[in-house]
Amino acid sequence: KGFVRLKECNVYLVSPQGSILGSKMREQSIEVITIEFPSLRNRNPFKTLLKLFSFKKSFKSELQKAKIVGDVILISNTTRSFVYTAFLYLFFPKFFQIWVLHDYLIPKVLLKYVKFIPKFFVAVSQDVKLFYNLPRTVVIPNAFSIVGDDFDIVHKDNSDKFKVGFFGRIVKWKGLHVLIDAISILKEQKHNVMLLVYGSPSDTEMDYYSSVIEQVQRLGLSNFVKFYGFVEDVIPAMRECNVIVSSSISKYGGPESFGRSAIEAMIAGVPLVSTNCGGIAENITDGYNGILVKEDNAEELAEAITTLLNDINLRKEIIAKQSLKIVSQEELSKRINLLHGKSIKELAILTSEL
């Protein structure tokens, strides 16, 4: 939402036509270079090479059009862009490449053979760094835009129900089915709860989405679970909830590489219950600024939600401990500009001080 400008540095987004991110960057006067990134998934190596060479030709043409000279840093943050920029290395070996590891989905065998290309890997958590165990890897957590307190509630619910929020894609590894089982347990215990589901189903897991809908109906939870679909700004929706639950399960395709919803819950000022999955525990300490439970365990989820439901003082204590040091955009710009043109040794000293 906010883009920090570096002195003497031109920033370009290389993006496919019609990219949502491209539109947002243009709004902030970031130049967008439009190049197609066709899928490389096919059984014909010749066609794959044709696509790669076509991309390289387009990339070189756009470089010339934009009159890009001097040092070039290529930052890649998807598996597809890794493949394309790795191919560009054959023709532009002096380009400085940085690859961002957001999750655990990139095949280790792919990185094994091309790990010499990037000058740095950036992992979003220590857990991701340990998983890949690559040289020259630094950990930089995901960034968040923190805005003022004047949020409007998205779906105002004036009922006296205890509202449990789920925020994430409706895919099996996010564990929504286990959370629904937990809500069923709470219903049987006569707790007045409501599960608010914010997120969209994945095109590749529509069967799972159908099974979740069927599960709600089978358990008689139609009046206890509401599906609101995808929302771009989650903080206002989170503030409608009494507790946020992250129910991810490693064995189905996780674990959580970072746990974005944990930080967003902190920003919203809402207690978090989460499975102890991947990078979540780097930000949440059980019983201090949240509650951690075992993965794939509806009983433990229900027990944790009940604890917060019955103890308003505990909810207040957890919220008070969800402290975030907020740095203004201007202060962040000052700090980044301090680093410009410094040697590695000077950078190490400065960053440790900051």
Distance set, CA 192 to CA 129, 249, 342 (Å): 42, 26, 58
**Beta strands in 261-326, from DSSP E residues, in sequence order:** 272-275, 291-293
**What pLDDT is recorded for position 159?**
60
Distance CA 70, CA 323 (A): 42
DSSP state, residue 27? H
Kindly report the pTM of this predicted structure.
Answer: 0.73
- 34 DSSP β-pair partners: 15
**Burial of 252: CB neighbours in 10 Å, binned 0-12, 13-18, 19+:** middle
Number of H helices, E strands in the chain: 13, 12
The type of residue at 260 is R
Phi, psi (5° rounding) for residue 342? -90, 155
Paired sense of beta strands 73-76 and 31-34, if any: unpaired
- DSSP H or E segment with residue 63: helix 45-65
Regions in the chain scoring below 70 on pLDDT: 1-8, 145-159, 323-354
